[in-house]
Each structure stands twice: as structure tokens, then as C-alpha cells.
Amino acid sequence: MTLVESLTVASLTLGIIVIIGKYLVVLPLKNFIREQSYQIQPTANGGRSLSDVARTVDRIEKQLDAHIALHLKDGY
């Protein structure tokens, strides 16, 4: 067997191993991650993420605190 034939066999074998590895390892792993990270209620919060909702709540809290402080300063 010549060097070229040996390299051809080695590259074909490596290619087959990579293809098999992709279908036996990578794709099942990607599917598992996709299943484990799906949105429980994708239409909840208008499709917004939890961090978007938290920022909105923080903004409303600051506005409410400022409103309360304004009225408490007036003697209410």
C-alpha cells in the first residue's frame, strides 16, 4: 500500500468517524439542550424575557417610590 492509498484510507475513516460522531453525539446533545431550555409559556409576558419584566418592575417601583416621597413630603 502506497502512502497516498494509506492517507486516502485514513481520511475516509476519519470522515466516517466524524459523521457518525455528529449523529450519535452532537445532534442528540443539541436536541436535549433544546428540550431542556424551551419556554414554558412562550406567549406569557408578550414574548418578553424574565429580565425584561424585572427591568420594567424596577422602573415602576422607582416611579412609585418617587410618587410616594412627593406626597409624604407634602404632609400626606
Model pTM score: 0.40
Output the DSSP codes for 6-64. HHHHHHHHHHHHHHHHIIIIIHHHHHHHHHHT--SSTTGGGG--HHHHHHHHHHHHHHH
Q: How far apart are CA 42 and CA 36, in angstroms?
A: 14
| Cell reading at 57 | 418592575
Instruction: Output the average pLDDT for the chain.
Output: 83
SS3 1: coil
22, 16 in Cβ contact below 8 A? no
Mean pLDDT across the stretch 61-74? 86
Tell me the pLDDT tens digit for each residue of 35-56. 887 766 666 656 667 777 888 8
